Amino acid sequence: MSCNNNGKAFLVGNKVVVILVFLLCLVRSSESLRPLFACDPANGLTRTLRFCRVNVPIHVRVQDLIGRLTLQEKIRNLVNNAAAVPRLGIGGYEWWSEALHGVSDVGPGARFGGAFPGATSFPQVITTAASFNQSLWEEIGRVVSDEARAMYNGGVAGLTYWSPNVNILRDPRWGRGQETPGEDPVVAGKYAASYVRGLQGTAAGNRLKVAACCKHYTAYDLDNWNGVDRFHFNAKVTQQDLEDTYNVPFRSCVSEGKVASVMCSYNQVNGKPTCADEDLLKNTIRGQWRLNGYIVSDCDSVDVFFNQQHYTNTPEEAAAASIKAGLDLDCGPFLAIFTEGAVKKGLLTENDINLALANTLTVQMRLGMFDGNLGPYANLGPRDVCTPAHKHLALEAAHQGIVLLKNSGRSLPLSPRRHRTVAVIGPNSDVTETMIGNYAGKACSYTTPLQGISRYARTLHQAGCAGVACKGNQGFGAAEAAARQADATVLVMGLDQSIEAETRDRTGLLLPGFQQDLVTRVAQASRGPVILVLMSGGPIDVTFAKNDPRVAAIIWAGYPGQAGGAAIANIIFGAANPGGKLPMTWYPQDYVAKVPMTVMAMRASGNYPGRTYRFYKGPVVFPFGFGLSYTTFTHSLAKSPLAQLSVSLSNLNSANAILNSSSHSIKVSHTNCNSFPKMPLHVEVSNTGEFDGTHTVFVFAEPPKNGIKGLGVNKQLVTFEKVHVTAGAKQTVQINVDACKHLGVVDEYGKRRIPMGEHKLHIGDLKHTILVQPQL
Q: Is the dihedral of CA 333, 339, 340, 342 positive or negative?
A: positive
Residues 121/394, Cβ–Cβ less than 8 Å: yes
- Compute the radius of gyration of the chain from its Cα atoms: 27
In this structure, what DSSP letter does residue 474 have? T
Marked catalytic residue, from 221, 244, 277, 298:
298
CA dist 428 and 511 (Å) reads 13
Instruction: Give backbone dihedrals phi and psi of 772, rounded to 5 degrees, phi first.
Output: -105, 125
In a 3-state reduction of DSSP, which class is residue 425?
Answer: strand
Residue 775 pairs in a beta bridge with: 648
Instruction: Give Cα separations from 2 to 9, 15, 154, 774 (angstroms).
Output: 6, 14, 20, 79
User: What residues contact residue 624 under an 8 Å CB cut-off, 6+ apart?
Assistant: 182, 183, 184, 582, 583, 584, 585, 612, 613
| Complete DSSP assignment for 526-591 | -SS-EEEEEE-SS----HHHHS-TT--EEEE--S--TTHHHHHHHHHTTSS------SS-B--HHH
Q: Quick one: angle between helices 134-153 and 185-200, nearest 10? A: 40
Instruction: Give Cα separations from 131 to 187, 199, 397, 461, 694 (angstroms).
Output: 11, 19, 8, 30, 9
CA dist 230 and 225 (Å) reads 9
- For the range 66-69, what are the long-range contacts, defined as Cβ-Cβ under 8 Å and sequence gap of 24 or more? 66/354, 66/357, 66/358, 66/361, 69/357
In this structure, what DSSP letter does residue 123 have? P
CA dist 181 and 128 (Å) reads 8
SS (H, E, C) 734-750: EEEECHHHHCCEECCCC
Residues 259/253, Cβ–Cβ less than 8 Å: yes
Q: Which amino acid is at 277?
A: D
| 298 counts as catalytic | yes
| Complete DSSP assignment for 485-510 | HSSEEEEEEE--TTTSBTTB--S-SS
Regarding beta strands 261-264 and 268-269, do their DSSP bridges make them parallel or antiparallel, or are they unpaired? unpaired
CA dist 427 and 411 (Å) reads 23
CA dist 636 and 55 (Å) reads 56
Listed residue (38, 238, 33, 312) closest to 151, CA to CA = 33
Instruction: Give backbone dihedrals phi and psi of 52, rounded to 5 degrees, phi first.
Output: -95, -5
CA dist 157 and 151 (Å) reads 5
Omega into 529 within 30° of 0, i.e. cis?
Answer: no
Listed residue (116, 137, 266) closest to 198, CA to CA = 137
Q: Is the dihedral of CA 486, 490, 493, 497 positive or negative?
A: negative
In a 3-state reduction of DSSP, which class is residue 141?
Answer: helix
H or E segment at 82? strand 81-82
Active site residues: 298
